[in-house]
Amino acid sequence: MNEFPNSTDGVKNIINSLTNNGIDLSKGTLINWNDKLAKAFNPQLENIEKELLNSYYSNFDESSIKINGESYNQICASNKTHTRLWISKRKRHEDLEKIEFFLLFPGIIIKDGTDIYNGFGRLFSQCISHILRYLKGIYDFIDHKGPKEMAEFLTRCIKTREELMSKGMHQFSEPELNKLLIQYDEIIRRWKCVWMNDTKNPLYDDERKLLSRMEDSDKEQILYFLKDFKIPATNNQAEADQRPIKIKQKNGKFRSEAGAQNYADIRSCINTYKKNAINTLSAIKNAFLGNVTII
């Protein structure tokens, strides 16, 4: 139910088949076991939050899900070693304020272009993977060199940064960084000139919004990865940590908010155990026996 994307009915049928009809669990029993396991994992969930609060950075992301046909959101905070998932009815800043973790988080937040995390954390770095997708959404349909040139520039920056990190370096030299910032501004300038003179462009407004973000409002966040090698250039880790719930919903659905939160709690622990090479079956057995594995 939690390790793989099976529905409650699916798990019930698998167990029944494996035991040649010897064990015919009710869905209610499986749901009760899940509820018991989620509660048993509370000490580990508390430790996950403590570790993330002590982390220099955290990847933040959110994903839409359905609970009994209604729209909800799964919220994720994660790094290389820990994952924490929550269920929220709405994707709003004021709803995240109800989760104490967000009010306490003191580190750097790596996110996409959303503003729901404004006011949390120390500062922001925007996911370059998201920016590359937005750029591709422009240059795949409009024959403007600027978006493609910017995508190639950012990709080169990531590669160069990785090469420097592999050599034990922690930052660009000041001349190198200044050179990159000048190149960025020059690409924006050329791109903007082409955009302004193409009023028949069917993506005119979409391109304007992306240009405005990259030139002004989000520029510092987008380029932060050039200044701080201690943070990843993307929040892909958070996207990967959320993927199981998206796959799970293809095989079944959540019927209650409590059931969805139980899944999020248990999956937080499973993801964390996997990241730390802990056998998840053993960890689940230990939790049921009252001996929770703390990582």
Q: Cα torsion for 18, 20, 25, 27, to the nearest 10°?
A: 70
Q: What is the pLDDT along the chain (295 residues), one digit of tens a residue?
A: 888 778 888 899 999 999 999 999 999 999 999 999 999 999 999 999 999 999 999 999 999 999 988 999 999 999 999 999 999 999 999 999 999 999 999 999 999 999 999 999 999 999 999 999 999 999 999 989 999 999 999 999 999 999 999 999 999 999 999 999 999 999 999 999 999 998 888 888 999 999 999 999 999 999 999 999 999 999 999 999 998 887 877 766 788 999 999 999 999 999 999 999 999 999 999 999 999 999 9
pLDDT score for 200 = 84
Spell out the domain ranges in the chain: 128-227
pLDDT score for 248 = 78
Q: If residue 37 lies in a helix (H) or strand (E), which one and from where to where?
A: helix 27-40
pLDDT score for 251 = 65
pLDDT averaged over every residue in the chain:
94
- Tell me if residue 15 falls in helix, strand or coil: helix
CA dist 4 and 106 (Å) reads 33
CA dist 260 and 266 (Å) reads 10
Which residues, listed in sequence order, are joined to residue 63 by a DSSP beta bridge? 74
Q: If residue 193 lies in a helix (H) or strand (E), which one and from where to where?
A: helix 174-196
Tallying the residues shown for the chain, one arrives at: 295
Query: Each residue of 49-104: pLDDT tens digit?
Result: 999 999 999 999 999 999 988 999 999 999 999 999 999 999 999 999 999 999 99
